[in-house]
Copies of this chain bind each other. A is one copy, B any other.
Amino acid sequence: MLDLTPRLDRARRVVERATAAGLMIATAESCTGGLVAALLTSIPGSSAVVDRGFVTYTNEAKTEMLGVPRDLLARVGAVSAEVALAMAEGAIAHSRADLAVSITGIAGPGGGSAAKPVGLVHFAAVRRAGPSLAHEARFGDLGRDAIRLAAAETALDLLERLLDAG
């Protein structure tokens, strides 16, 4: 089940508030693979606030599209608070957006470990020349679709918190 409908209200709130504030948004997605951008762009009028989205599924994409340092990826791994922050900062640096949100996690079913279990997701939300937020979620092994949807929801919530902070 990959039904985005229950998440549209959240996306609408973010688009409406960013529109009112005159702010553009960029997304930097790994495990959600485009879900956050797809949710935001489902809202009519979102072209006024969605600048662009980076779906950086491979480590090479994270480095080449967002400038995430290769040695950082090697040292702490793609699923880490440090890489989430570098992704969001990279999305700001490589776009015209005012706000960026990043998502990197382990959606499963494979790829988990004791230290980084399936369901672990790191997020960052950054405002250009402004505050940033970091968030770590451990959704548990809910299944791939449920983890990705929960992560997309959390990313929208972080954008809203960043809009509150502004």
Question: Is B41 in contact with A50, judged by CB distance below 8 angstroms?
Answer: no
Question: In the complex, what residues of B have CB within 8 A of residue A40's CB?
Answer: 33
Question: In the complex, what residues of B have CB within 8 A of residue A1's CB?
Answer: 5
What CA separation (Å) do A46 and B32 show in the bound complex? Answer: 12
- Kindly state the interface size class of chain A when it binds its partner: 35 or more
What is the distance, in angstroms, from A65's C-beta to the closest C-beta of chain B? 6
In chain B, what residue has the closest Cβ to A8? B2
User: A41-54 interface mask toward B, CB cutoff 8 Å, 1 = contact, 0 = none?
Assistant: 11011110011111
User: A24-46 interface mask toward B, CB cutoff 8 Å, 1 = contact, 0 = none?
Assistant: 00010101111111111110111
Question: Is A55 in contact with B55, judged by CB distance below 8 angstroms?
Answer: yes
Question: In the complex, what residues of B have CB within 8 A of residue A37's CB?
Answer: 33-34, 37-38, 55, 57
Segment 42-97 of A: residues with Cβ below 8 Å from B: 42, 44-47, 50-58, 60-61, 64-65, 94-96
What is the distance, in angstroms, from A41's C-beta to the closest C-beta of chain B? 3
Of the candidates A37, A60, A109, the one having the most CB atoms from chain B within 10 angstroms of its own CB is A37
Nearest 5 A/B pairs, CB to CB: A33-B41, A53-B55, A34-B34, A34-B37, A52-B61
Enumerate 14 A-B pairs (CB-CB under 8 Å) in ascending A order: A3-B5, A32-B41, A34-B34, A34-B53, A34-B55, A37-B38, A41-B57, A42-B148, A44-B110, A46-B57, A51-B57, A52-B65, A55-B55, A60-B96
